[in-house]
Amino acid sequence: MKTGAGRAVLIAAALIAAVYGMARVDLILRARSAYLEGEKWMEWSRRPELKKAHFDAELAAREGELSRELAKGRLDRAAYAQKAGLARFERDQAVAESSLKYAYVWYQTAAELFSPPENRWSALARVKMTETRALWKKELEAQKIPYQDYMLE
11-50 tens-digit pLDDT: 999 999 999 999 999 999 999 999 999 999 999 999 999 9
Task: DSSP letter for 152, please.
Answer: G
- For Cα atoms 93, 99, 105, give the angle at the middle one, nearest 5 degrees: 110
11 in any annotated domain: no
Note whether residue 131 is domain-resident: yes
- Number of structural domains, the chain? 1
**Does residue 3 fall inside a structural domain?**
no
In this structure, is residue 7 part of a structural domain?
no
Residue 41 belongs to domain spanning: 18-152
pLDDT digits (tens, 9 = 90+) for 117-145: 889 999 999 999 999 999 999 999 999 99
Over the stretch 57-104, which tens digit does the pLDDT of each residue have? 999 999 999 999 999 999 999 999 999 999 999 999 999 999 999 999
- Residue 9 in domain: no
CA distances from 111 to 52, 95, 105, 108 (A): 28, 26, 10, 5
